[in-house]
Structure 1
Amino acid sequence: MKRDVDSPTFSGPFALGTVSAPGRDPFPALVVPGDRVMDLRAALGAPELTVRTLLEGWDDVLPRLRTLAADTAGDRLPLDGLRVHAPVEPRQVFQSGANYRQHVIDLAVAHRSPDDPRTVEEARVEFAEVMDRRAAEDLPYVFIGLPSAITGPYDDVLLPAWAAQPDWELELVAVIAKPAHRVSVEEALEYVVGYTIANDLTDRATVFRQDMPGIGTDWLHSKNAPGFTPLGPWIVPAESIADPGDLRITLKLNGETMQDESTKDMIFGVARLVSYISQTARLLPGDLVLTGSPAGNGMHWGRLLRDGDVMEGSIAGLGTQRTRCTAETAS
């Protein structure tokens, strides 16, 4: 159900989204300032078009999108009354872990063993040194997420009954435009069509396997419940974002600011992450590269998500998403 959809507030003359009207299937939309959208299936004469297939021909279609956005006489629908879905259905989701220096230090301190002899300050100094070594050794940390965890930017988020410590992680997302395999850092941004927002929810209680400590993290269980990745609302073209390495990320919980940081704190920028992933995997049009979350998560505040909480996440130039948490009833 559509609820509390914000007016489009994004950089540049247009963005891309996926929306639907009551009784209609979702359709790819050109979103322009003034709370208006254009059905790109009709405008481009492509009845089977999706945002993902549009991205597959991005170089050819971009000039047409610019023209459509500038045509104020074009057939446009009011955003009010439409449901906003996740802007794209990716085939692959790549998630960057431990990529914000301050955030990693905070989490490492929070997850210390109760018998750790170090003071908090001593631990922070040591973890900071670890982050500095990672940056110097140029080794990003990336794992795989599930497309089935993605939901819309205004949809309710179901907190599973088994999730004892559900937490928020607002992130900048790079959306891939064309197949990329073994690309250099210098050319990596040529493969990024634009940027959007994700809230990469995580159940902190199941991040580490208690039954098999030696096996390490369990990202399947802790991050991939249905709806655990609210995405959007829009994909803003890369040409409209001056510097993805200098964007403000803000998350409010029930109106109180919890995360308020710049992407400047990323250890590895978008170009480095895309290049690193492409050395192993073949990135495809519409794929998502989540770039990590800054400081200010629930573990830092000692306040995890619960029934009725409302999260409002925004990134400068990309818009705002708003989701309400609902707790699953234990069976």
Structure 2
Amino acid sequence: MKLLRYGATGQEKPGLLDSDGHIRDLSGVIPDLGPAQISPEGLETLAAVDPRDLPTVEGAPRLGPPLAGIGQIHAIGLNYRNHAREAGMAIPDEPILFTKATSCLSGPDDDIVIPRGAQTVDWEVELGVVIGTAAYQVEEAQALEHVAGYLTANDVSERDHQIRRGGQWVKGKSAPGFGPLGPWLVTKDEVPDPQNLAVKLAVNGEIRQDGHTSDMIFSVARIVAHVSAFLRLMPGDVILTGTPAGVGMGMKPPVYLQPGDQVTVEVEGLGVQRQQVRNQ
């Protein structure tokens, strides 16, 4: 299933994408699409619904983040071999873990907003993992059993705030609009191998990132197991799994997003994001 939320910011309704690419309204079946609805029981209930019995949503409504009630956004840094080489950094021995504030969340096509005074706003296409059942100290072999599905993500980053302002990376990762998710949450039954997905990002039509999840240093299963070794992952938590080479910081000279730029973000099979960049 491809599950989504549509409507004005703060007024989103649950929906799904049918096999013909039409949005169907799920609000008569569930109140919203949140942690309870992506539990194994919740997904089983939704899978039993015939999309043809649901109202068709006309037009092209705004899409919001495909999941409500996200408790935590965990992210993995430096998780692609070619990105590590691009950054001139050693391959890490274990996943580098940081967080993004949930207040950064936005819809897949919402604007990327450059914070006041920021000069180094960068792009990062990433595979997002959505947790469906609580996971604490799970083994890698069982880790994917706790995953509800996957989504396209752009880990927008202000590099000066991230690197030069001291403290945690969260400072450069969490401005409003820095967490576009979606367009939809694709349940894991439609993603047989998360290590076999192309990931791409273009700025103004020019491909900047063209990677593949097979280049990850740490697999999705390893990441879920690793994070769960230190904290309890909860239903609705999102993990961003790192970005391939091609970020603006890695260009020579570095190139960063400017007002008016158009960003296109895609993970194979998980949908495309299209964002316009503007000042705050």
For residue 208 of structure 1, give the secondary structure of its aligned residue in structure 2: helix
Distance 2:258 2:44 in 1: 45
The 5 A counterparts of 1:137-216 are 137=93, 139-209=94-164
**What is residue 55 of structure 2 aligned with on the other side?**
76
Counterpart in 1 of 2:18?
32
Stretch of structure 1 that moved more, 188-197 or 71-80: 71-80
Flag the 1:72–1:171 CA change in 2: closer, same or farther, 3 A: closer
* 1:291-330 aligned within 5 A: 291-301=241-251, 302-328=254-280
Q: Does residue 1:18 correspond to 2:5, yes or no? A: yes
> TM-score of the superposition, structure 1-length normalised?
0.79
**Are the equivalent residues in 1 in contact too, given 2:71–2:102 (CA < 8 A)?**
yes
> If each structure's helix is expressed as a fraction of its own residues, which one has the higher value?
1
Whether 1:54 and 2:54 are equivalent positions in the alignment is no
Q: 2:27 aligns with which of 20, 28, 41?
A: 41
Percent identity between matched residues is 35
TM-score with structure 2 length normalisation? 0.93
What pairs up with 1:102-121 in 2 under 5 angstroms?
Answer: 102-108=82-88
Provide the rounded CA distance (Å) in 2 between the counterparts of 1:145 and 1:99: 16
Amino acid at match of 1:293: T
Q: Is 2:169 the partner of 1:219?
A: yes
SS of aligned partner of 2:32: coil
**Structure with greater Cα Rg:** 1
Contact map agreement 2:98 2:170 (CA 8 A) in 1: no
**Unaligned ranges ≥5, structure 1:** 1-13, 109-126, 211-215
For residues 51-84 of structure 1, what are the alpha-carbon distances to aligned partners after superposition, in whole Å with 9 as ceiling and x for unaligned?
33312xx22233332332xx36312313523221
Q: Figure out how many residues of one structure are paired with residues of the other and give that number.
A: 277
Alpha-carbon deviation of 1:217?
A: 5.2
**Unmatched 5+ residue regions in structure 2?**
none
The letter for the 2-side match of 1:31 is L
CA contact (8 A) 1:18 1:84 kept: yes
SS for the counterpart of 2:36 is helix
Change over 3 Å in CA distance of 1:163–1:24 after alignment to 2: closer
Cα pair distance change 1:23/1:153, threshold 3 Å: closer
1:117 alignment partner in structure 2: none
The answer to whether the aligner puts 1:99 opposite 2:85 as a matched pair is no
Greater mean deviation of Cα atoms: 270-279 or 75-84:
75-84
The Cα shift of 1:254 comes to 0.6
For 2:237 and 2:148, how far apart are their aligned partners in 1? Answer: 10
Q: Aligned equivalents of 1:24 and 1:290: distance in 2? A: 23
In 2, Cα distance between equivalents of 1:236 and 1:23: 21
Displacement after TM superposition at 1:238 (Å): 0.6
> How much has 1:97 moved relative to structure 2?
0.5
1:78/1:220 CA distance change after superposition, 3 Å: same
Which is worse superposed, 142-151 or 71-80? 71-80
Q: Which amino acid aligns with 1:99?
A: N
